[in-house]
Structure 1
Amino acid sequence: MSAHATSTYVPKSRIAKWFESRLPLVGLVHGSFIAYPVPRNLNYFWTFGAILSAFLGIQIITGVWLAMHYDPSAGNAFESVEHIMRDVNYGWLLRYAHANGASMFFLAVYVHIFRALYYGSYKAPREVLYLLGVIIYLLMMATAFLGYTLPWGQMSFWGATVITNILAAIPIVGDSIQSLLWGGYSVGNPTINRFFSLHYLLPWMIAGVVVLHVWALHVVGQNNPAGIPIKSSKDAVPFTPYATIKDVFATVAFMIIFAWFIFYQPNYLGHADNYVPANASVTPAHIVPEWYFLPFYAILRAVPDKLGGVIMMFGAVAILAFAPWLDTSRVRSTNYRPVYKVFFWVFVFNAILLGWLGAKPPEGGYVLVSRICTIYYFAHFLLVMPLVGLFETPKPLPGSILETVTGPRYGSSEGPTPGAPVENANKNIPDWAKPDAVKSH
């Protein structure tokens, strides 16, 4: 069954018919977000695309509003942030929503990434869809780093200094790139001007790539927990109302968590040092980035050589883009891969542990454990994914998506499994899900 949906939208008024014949915008929206068929077995991990879209909108709206009152200069940046907090109507709400929105944005994108890795959403024919997602993630990281420097507190200033200093380790062009970002020979007024300009630009670039990401999704269709394609109309349901209601519910639930941070713990995910004005003469006792960068910060510090650490840190992000070609398994979903499932959850634990280590001082046992975790991080992609797929015997896949919802008694066109008891087989199956009651969509 095709991933595309033919829109059944028929304009009613003469004006609507005139407009639709010249620019079928309403029909496009109807076919993409109403009649678009989605697998009927999607779980709540498939709602994070909608959650991320909502937070991208929140970040852009609050960011534009904050930019109206922010002064991107080394002398006034810190004071302008305090002005927003104290003197601008609801400025405190805008700033806390923007700062905590970034954390929620990354939390949702990490769930989105791990879901893609678990269910094999990077496999053919979704390689381009997945690569666009990796590009969005890279743009998010750049945007978040630039935004983190703008309050011009102690942690912002020294975070910018540390991260931009590592660029000097790049052979030949490193010093030139560093000077270009700084606008001089050290972090200062030209730097914050550049960072503010780029921080304002990149979210719009993210929005543009998101459009491509959604477009690619509608071309190849959504993956599903079983990792098998839609084979008939019984395997799919219209996006609206089925997926729409689920997306709205999950987004509201996520917004409640977001609201709790804004109103009860607005600085929980921040750093107290950022409430101290930037001082180039006083170095904070322990410089750490935001929590969503900590795993990569741990990898950077795990390598004693400066250039080696930079290569490993950027390589840890870049290697995600090669997952479609490193995984040799013919089965998408890890649900049906018993051996790889163990390695996957070790990988998740390893990533969380790297995040914890990134917040610790680079000394003693922390460095040793960071090195072990870094080795496993790369080994998962370069050894586990290629080798396990060659030797693993996966579990049998279901015959259809409908079968994963209703069971083989009603989900398979071949009838019940031979030898399986059929009495009371429909006990827990609602009437609408039985084959004679399922309507084509």
Structure 2
Amino acid sequence: MRGVGSPYTPKTGIERWLDARMPLPRLVYDSFIIYPVPRNLNYAYSFGGILTVMLVSQILTGVVLAMHYAPNTVLAFDSVEKIMRDVNSGWLLRYLHSNGASFFFIAVYIHIGRGLYYGSFKSPRELLWVLGCTNFLLMMATAFMGYVLPWGQMSFWGATVITNFFTAIPVAGQWIQQLLLGGFAVDNPTLNRFFALHYLLPFMLVGVVTLHIWALHVVGQNNPIGIDVKSSADVVDFTPHATVKDALGIVVFSLVLAYFVFYMPNFLGHPDNYTVAEPLKTPAHIVPEWYFLPFYAILRAITFSIGPIDSKLGGVLAMFAAIAVLFFVPWLDTSKVRSAVYRPWYRLFFALFVANGLFLGWLGSRPPEGAYVILSQFATLYYFAFFIVIMPLLGLIETPRRLPNSITEAVLEQTRQAADPD
């Protein structure tokens, strides 16, 4: 079976020896050199490569930081300060890791948004999308565990508040909270558990990312117009076309990250987290990291009871439902047209969805009082309505624009319009 359908030809004796025993060069050649990709991919499709690079960067910096970190409530905060001051280039590693987490989420939100806009979740890519959502869930768990490790004020109280919400779950809530905490309060066992999980989960993420890339290579890459490949004229080789595009995207993204690391390293952090945790001194306003704020706003938006479900349990259910609904998107969108480029009404509602997500993020940073609560409830309503009401209905009533016959036709039309805008 080795080599069936593959144009790869070993050129040296070592390559022939390896190809006969473990055809790794053939796999790389078939998957990343001659692998066909649609010829109309834009820079929005570079974020898959960016996320892969960011994952490797986070693991490498995290492993080195773990060598100097002490998962003990008495030593944790000081060990982070020691990394910053005494470890060679420790400040750089720490700032790359902490700011890298934020940029990791920036990239994944753009990646998810691109998938929603261009319909990358539709048949036959449902499993690809579900694996991507699983990656997102693992990322969130890893980031939450990592945020606790510096053992600053916001780390301690953020862990206290979030784990306390599990007690709202009937029957098993108390047990889940005590399992996470290792006791009845956030303390040394909690820090040890979170450190172990924060170290382990990225390697689980690597496994699911590998499945994600495998699934992508099986079903093929989607493209901005959402049309299947019709002929060899619609595709180009992955290298150099996609690799050059992705490399440029990675360089630009890395330069922006570098600006934050060297000039604004603490801009994305909370000031309270630069003071050691004090269990007897509660911060005036407890907030998670910025990338959790939209879901935090959804959690706090539920201030009313529905039958046997009180507001606390309702908020927890709403927060987890906001993530869970993403897994069902391939079956909620009923439109036969993939790309929003040809769906004018969907494009409008999607723009409102993006604005609503940013608005939820801002509301999550505000105190849970007065008008902020009411606005959070309306924003939460639109968030769920977009998936549960708007997506299914638009597929039934929207009249899309005429689709081109092929990717090549669309590319030639764009070229013609660029050359002759009149």
Return the TM-score normalized by structure 2.
0.95
Partner of 2:108: 109
> Contact 2:47 / 2:111 at 8 angstroms: preserved in 1?
yes
> Is 1:210 aligned with 2:209?
yes
> Structure 1 residue 428: deviation in Å?
3.9
For residues 14 and 224 of structure 1, the distance between their equivalents in structure 2, rounded to whole angstroms, comes to 39
Partner of 2:337: 331
What are the equivalent positions in structure 2 for 1:7-406 lying under 5 Å apart? 7-304=6-303, 305-406=311-412
For residues 185 and 234 of structure 1, the distance between their equivalents in structure 2, rounded to whole angstroms, comes to 64
Larger radius of gyration: 1
Q: Kindly tell me: are residues 7 and 71 of structure 1, through their superposed partners in 2, closer, same or farther at Cα, counting changes over 3 Å? A: same
For residues 229 and 382 of structure 1, the distance between their equivalents in structure 2, rounded to whole angstroms, comes to 27
For residues 356 and 203 of structure 1, the distance between their equivalents in structure 2, rounded to whole angstroms, comes to 28
> Structure 1 residue 8: deviation in Å?
2.2
Q: Kindly tell me: are residues 242 and 6 of structure 1, through their superposed partners in 2, closer, same or farther at Cα, counting changes over 3 Å? A: farther
Q: Kindly tell me: are residues 200 and 366 of structure 1, through their superposed partners in 2, closer, same or farther at Cα, counting changes over 3 Å? A: same
> Structure 1 residue 18: deviation in Å?
1.7
For residues 359 and 83 of structure 1, the distance between their equivalents in structure 2, rounded to whole angstroms, comes to 30
Determine helix, strand or coil for the equivalent of 2:37.
strand
Structure 1: runs of 5 or more not aligned: 411-424, 430-441
What are the equivalent positions in structure 2 for 1:406-421 lying under 5 Å apart? 406-407=412-413
> Contact 1:7 / 1:30 at 8 angstroms: preserved in 2?
no
For residues 141 and 79 of structure 1, the distance between their equivalents in structure 2, rounded to whole angstroms, comes to 26
For residues 235 and 5 of structure 2, the distance between their equivalents in structure 1, rounded to whole angstroms, comes to 14
> Structure 1 residue 15: deviation in Å?
2.3
> Structure 1 residue 427: deviation in Å?
9.9
For residues 374 and 271 of structure 1, the distance between their equivalents in structure 2, rounded to whole angstroms, comes to 25
Partner of 2:307: none
Determine helix, strand or coil for the equivalent of 2:124.
coil
For residues 413 and 85 of structure 2, the distance between their equivalents in structure 1, rounded to whole angstroms, comes to 59
> Contact 2:34 / 2:237 at 8 angstroms: preserved in 1?
yes
> Contact 1:6 / 1:31 at 8 angstroms: preserved in 2?
no
Determine helix, strand or coil for the equivalent of 1:96.
helix
1:323-369 CA-to-partner distances (Å, cap 9, x unmatched) read 00000100000110011111111111101100000000011110000
For residues 322 and 14 of structure 2, the distance between their equivalents in structure 1, rounded to whole angstroms, comes to 54
The letter of the residue matching 1:360 is: R
Return the TM-score normalized by structure 1.
0.91
For residues 368 and 263 of structure 2, the distance between their equivalents in structure 1, rounded to whole angstroms, comes to 32
Determine helix, strand or coil for the equivalent of 2:115.
helix
> Structure 1 residue 407: deviation in Å?
1.8
The letter of the residue matching 2:392 is: P
The letter of the residue matching 1:358 is: G
> Structure 1 residue 275: deviation in Å?
1.1
For residues 54 and 378 of structure 1, the distance between their equivalents in structure 2, rounded to whole angstroms, comes to 32
The letter of the residue matching 2:373 is: V
CA RMSD between the two structures = 1.4
> Structure 1 residue 9: deviation in Å?
1.9
> Structure 1 residue 404: deviation in Å?
1.4
1:114-152 CA-to-partner distances (Å, cap 9, x unmatched) read 000000000000000000000000000000000000000
Q: Kindly tell me: are residues 329 and 116 of structure 1, through their superposed partners in 2, closer, same or farther at Cα, counting changes over 3 Å? A: same
Determine helix, strand or coil for the equivalent of 1:50.
helix
Bigger Cα displacement from structure 2, 132-141 vs 13-22: 13-22
> Structure 1 residue 426: deviation in Å?
11
Quote the sequence identity (%). Answer: 63
1:290-335 CA-to-partner distances (Å, cap 9, x unmatched) read 0000000000001110000000000000000100000010000011
> Contact 2:15 / 2:25 at 8 angstroms: preserved in 1?
no
For residues 426 and 334 of structure 1, the distance between their equivalents in structure 2, rounded to whole angstroms, comes to 20
Determine helix, strand or coil for the equivalent of 1:38.
strand
Determine helix, strand or coil for the equivalent of 1:407.
helix
> Structure 1 residue 403: deviation in Å?
1.1
The letter of the residue matching 1:247 is: D
Partner of 1:413: none
1:375-429 CA-to-partner distances (Å, cap 9, x unmatched) read 0100111100000110111000011001111129x9xxxxxxxxxxxxxx79949
> Contact 1:302 / 1:370 at 8 angstroms: preserved in 2?
yes
Q: Kindly tell me: are residues 307 and 16 of structure 1, through their superposed partners in 2, closer, same or farther at Cα, counting changes over 3 Å? A: same
The letter of the residue matching 2:127 is: V
Q: Kindly tell me: are residues 6 and 31 of structure 1, through their superposed partners in 2, closer, same or farther at Cα, counting changes over 3 Å? A: farther
> Structure 1 residue 7: deviation in Å?
3.5
The letter of the residue matching 2:59 is: I
For residues 15 and 147 of structure 2, the distance between their equivalents in structure 1, rounded to whole angstroms, comes to 46
Bigger Cα displacement from structure 2, 177-186 vs 63-72: 177-186
